[in-house]
Amino acid sequence: MPDVVTCVIRHEGRILLLKRSDRVGTHRGKWACVSGYVEEGDIISGRAAREVEEETGLSSSDVKMEKEGSPVKFFDDAEGKTWTVHPFLFRSNTDAIKIDWEHTEYRWIKPPDIGHYDTVPKLKEVVESLIPLR
């Protein structure tokens, strides 16, 4: 049962969505927030901060962790796996990011608009566990 972090980054009322590239292992072409596998021995909050820096180029001076949500567990039919997602909310002082190889594009969206995107499973629920979508 893989554990992953999902990091919602907020800037001036918008959240960051990233489109997963064909080079990632799961959910290619789907929209997601910053995410990554939790590896053995990781401190989960530390993994979240590392993923934010790796996938967006935002440093610890650019972002601040605001909240850690309750884990979300679910079975993913497409992957045939049960996932445990550890949600985190970060606030960014900039919207200038540099995506890495894991993504092909990004958008800053209003949280209620997440339903208009073809996202990874349960992303709307994960985001909603951290911030209201209204």
Q: Tell me the domain boundaries of the chain.
A: 3-128
DSSP code of residue 55: H
Query: Any idea which residue has 């209204």 for tokens?
Result: 134
Q: Residue 1 pLDDT more than 70?
A: no
Residue 37: C-alpha distances to residues 3, 22, 100, 120, 130 (Å):
6, 17, 16, 14, 20
Q: Residue 96 pLDDT more than 80?
A: yes
Q: Residue 131 pLDDT more than 90?
A: yes
pLDDT digits (tens, 9 = 90+) for 21-58: 999 888 889 999 999 999 999 999 999 999 999 999 99
Contact 18, 34 (CB under 8 A): yes
Q: Which fold has domain 3-128?
A: Nucleoside Triphosphate Pyrophosphohydrolase (3.90.79)
Checking DSSP bridges between strand 3-11 and strand 14-20, what pairing results, if any?
A: antiparallel
Percent of the chain with pLDDT over 70: 99
pLDDT of 134 reads 74
